[in-house]
Amino acid sequence: MAEGLRKPVSERIGELRDKVEYRRAVTEQDHEAIFRLRYDACRRIAAIDPSDGQRFDDSFDWLPNVHQLGVYIEDRLAASLRIHVLSQETP
């Protein structure tokens, strides 16, 4: 059995948690990395057709109430979150 699997689940989760960082996408490069990751994930399950740009974004990504977050594990983009904040200005 692998050494890491001998540890209790709670300890392994704690170790992973210490390696995870959430970063808000602010630069064009941040957004491009997220859209490439999304494209790769959607292509892997054949949810979208191939495209030359190899990125997947939609009109919701550019709304004024949207925040894109990258989830990094050991400084490598592993997932992303798109959060829409509702307010009186953006219902």
20-57 confidence digits (pLDDT tens): 999 999 999 999 999 999 999 999 999 999 999 999 99
pLDDT score, position 6 = 83
Query: Are 24 and 71 a contacting pair, CB within 8 Å?
Result: no
Mean pLDDT of the chain: 92
* Prediction pTM value: 0.81
Closest CA to 22 of 56, 61, 68: 68
> What are the tokens at 74?
């050991």
